[in-house]
Amino acid sequence: MKKIILLLLVSPCLVFGQDDLLGELEKGSAKETEYAFATFKGTRLGNGHTIETKNAGSLEFIFGHRFGAINGGAYEMFGLDQAYVRLGLDYGITDRLSLSIGRNSTDKTMDGYLKYKLLRQSKGAKNFPLSVTALGGMAYKISPKDEDEPEGFEDVDRLSYTGQLLIARKISTNLSLQLMPTYIHKNLVESYEENNQVALGIGGRLKLTKSVALTTEYYYNFSAPDNSTLTDDQKQYDAFSLGIDIETGGHVFQLLLTNAIGLTERAFITETRDDFFAGDIHLGFNVTRTFQLKKNK
Amino acid sequence: MTQPKNLPFLFFVFVSLTGYSQQRYIAEKAIISFFSDAVVEDISATNEKVTSIFDAVDGEVAYLMSIKDFQFPNKLMQVHFNEKYLESEKFPKSSFQGKITGFNVATAGKQEVKATGKLTIHGVTKSIEAPGTVEVNGNRLTVKSKFIVKLVDYNIKVPQIVWQNIAQQVEVTLDLVYRPL
C-alpha cells in the first residue's frame, strides 16, 4: 500500500516534472493520413496523361507541339518545318475531378476528357499503395469536310472514345511509376484495323533536381495490325517518348523525343506511323501555364 | 485505502495532481500564418492545426505543427511549398520549444512578453527571440506574436531566377487562445 501511494506521489512529478513539453505534444498528436502529392509535375507524362488532375478552381492552358521527324534531313530542317499542334484547357471542378478540352491540328480533331482521382496513395492512419485515376475521353474528327465525305460516311464515323485507368505509385520523392491500361473504340477504321483496341502503357519520372525531371512513356497496343502485311504508310508502331520536365512556378515545360505526332489517345496509340527505333524521332514539347481562377478558401 | 491513516497521503496525492494541472494551459485555438510581399505576388499561408502547451508558472512553452497543414490561397503554390521548398515529405513537422518571460498569470490584462527558444523548420534548429503579448481573460490566455524568419537560416533554397515572386524572408504571425489543461 505504501508503495502504491509513494508511486502516486512520485508519478505526477515524473509526468509533469519533466520539462519537455514538445515531447508531450508529439505523443498527443494523432496519427494522420498523409496522401502522396506531386507524383508527377504535370497532367501529361509525354503524349498521354498522368494521374494528376488540376486542383479545384485552377485552369491550365496546355500547348502541345510536335515537329516533323528529325531524320527528314536538312531539306525539312530536321523536322522543324512541320508542326502538329494541340491547344488545350484543363479545369479542376473539384480537387479530384477535372475537365479538359482541346483542338488538334492532326485530322482537325476536337477532344474532351473527364478525369477523376478514384484512389490516392496514402500512408499513416490510412495506408494505400497506389493512386488510381480514371480517364474518359472523346474525340471528334472535323476532317474530312462535309463536301469531301466519301459515299456512306456519317458524322458518327468521326468519333472515337478512350477509357483509361492511370495507376501510379510515388516510390520515393524522386521516382514515380505509372501503368496505363487503355481501351480505345473507333467508330470508323481502316480495313486492316479493329474498332476496339486495347493497349497497356508504362511510364515513369525520375527527378534530377527539385524542378527538373526525366520522363518516359511507352504504349504497347495489343490490337495493332500485323505490320508485315501492310504498306509503309499503313504500318503502326507503339508510341514511345523520352522527355525532360522543367518546372518554373506556374509553368511546366516538357521537352520530348517521340515517334508520335498525334496528341489524342486515338492518334498516338493506334495511328503512330513512325518507328522510334528506326530513327523517326520527333522533337516535341508541352508547355503549360496554370491560373488560379478561384481562391482556395 | 479506506484506512484513516492513509488519508493524509491521499490528500497529498490530490494536491500534487491538481497543483500541477492548474499551471498548464493548452491551446484551444491556434493559428500560425506567414506572409511575404514579393515582386509579382504576395505569398501567404495559414495553419489552423497547430498544437501548443504553455506552463504559466515556469513560462515553458512548446508548439508543434505539420507543414502540410499550411493552406495557401493558390493550391499550386501549396504543392510547391511542400514539394520543393519545405520538403514536407522529408521534414513533416515544424516546432518551437522555449520559454516566455515577463508574464505573470496573476496580473490581469495585456502583458508585453518575450519568447526565447529553439525554432525548428525544414530540419534545421535555430535559437530565436520573439516579442509578443499575453492577455489574461478569466481562465483563458490570449497569446499574440509577430516575428521574421529568414529562409536562409533554415536552409530553404528558393530559386530566384525561376520564381521571382518569393521573398527571402517571411513574417510569421501567431494567434493563440489557451485554456487550462
Listed by start position, the domains of chain A span 54-292
CATH number, domain with residue B58: 2.40.128.110
**Among residues 146-165 of chain B, which lie with CB inside 8 Å of chain A?**
159, 162-163, 165
Q: CB of B142 within 8 Å of any CB in chain A?
A: no
Q: CB of B22 within 8 Å of any CB in chain A?
A: no
Which among A37, A292, A295 is the nearest to B82, CB-wise?
A37
Name the CATH code of domain A54-292 (choices 3.30.43.10, 3.40.1440.10, 2.40.160.40, 3.40.50.720).
2.40.160.40
Asked whether residue B12 is assigned to any structural domain, the reply reads: no
- Taking only the tens place, the pLDDT of each residue in B86-122 is 999 999 999 999 999 999 888 888 999 999 999 999 9
Is B74 in contact with A32 (Cβ distance < 8 A)? no
Domains held by chain B: number = 1
pLDDT band at A32 (very low <50, low <70, confident <90, very high): confident
Q: CB of A30 within 8 Å of any CB in chain B?
A: no
Asked whether residue B170 is assigned to any structural domain, the reply reads: yes
pLDDT tops 70 at residue B52: yes
Instruction: Please give the grid coordinates belonging to residue B93.
Output: 513537422
Residue in the structure block whose three cell numbers are 478512350: A162
Mean of the per-residue pLDDT values for chain A? 91
Asked whether residue B16 is assigned to any structural domain, the reply reads: no
ipTM over 0.85: no
A282 to A59, A105, A245, A252, A279: CA distances (angstroms): 28, 16, 17, 20, 9
Residue of A nearest to B85 (CA): A210
pLDDT tops 90 at residue B39: no
Q: How far apart are CA A76 and CA B145, in angstroms?
A: 65
Q: How far apart are CA A83 and CA B127, in angstroms?
A: 58
pLDDT tops 50 at residue A18: no
Phi/psi for B133 (5° steps) reads -130, 150
Residue of A nearest to B63 (CA): A22
Burial class (CB in 10 A: 0-12, 13-18, 19+), A138: middle
pLDDT tops 70 at residue A3: no
Q: Which domain holds residue B141?
A: 23-180
Instruction: Please give the grid coordinates belonging to residue A67.
Output: 515537329
Q: How far apart are CA A68 and CA A257, in angstroms?
A: 11
How many CB atoms sit inside 10 A of residue A191's CB? 6
The whole-angstrom distance between residue B17's C-alpha and the CA centroid of its chain comes to 26
Task: Give me the pLDDT at residue A131, please.
Answer: 97
pLDDT tops 80 at residue A2: no
Which residues in chain A are contacts of B16 at CB distance < 8 A? 9, 12-13
Residue in the structure block whose three cell numbers are 489543461: B181
Asked whether residue B7 is assigned to any structural domain, the reply reads: no
Q: CB of A39 within 8 Å of any CB in chain B?
A: no
pLDDT tops 80 at residue A91: yes
pTM of the model: 0.85
Q: How far apart are CA B43 and CA B165, in angstroms?
A: 8
pLDDT band at B2 (very low <50, low <70, confident <90, very high): very low
